[in-house]
Structure 1
Amino acid sequence: MAVPSWLERLRAASKTALVQDGKRKIHYLFEDGKEMAEEYEMKTGQLVSRKWREKNTLGGSGKWQVEVGEPTSPLLGPLESDLIKESSSNPVFMRKDTLTSFQWRIRNLPYPKEVYSVSVEKEQRCCVIRTTNKKHDLPLDAAALSFTHANNTLIITYQKPKEILAAEEQLQKELKKIKAANNGDGDCKTQ
Structure 2
Amino acid sequence: MTDELVVLVDREGNATGIAPKASIHGTDTPLHLAFSSYVFDSAGRVLLSRRAAHKLTWPDAWTNSCCGHPLPGEPLDGAVTRRLSYELGLDVERVDLMLPAFSYRAVMENGIVEHELCPVYRVVVAADAVPNPDEVGEVEWMPWHEFAEGVVSGRLPISPWCREQVPLLLELGDDPLAWAPADPAALPPAARP
Which category of TM-score, normalised to the shorter sequence, fits these structures?
under 0.3
Q: Looking at CA atoms only, which structure, 1 or 2, has the larger radius of gyration?
A: 1
Task: Give the structure, 1 or 2, with the largest relative contact order (CA under 8 Å, sep 6 or more).
Answer: 2
Larger helix proportion, structure 1 or 2?
A: 2
Tell me the TM-score normalized by structure 1: 0.27
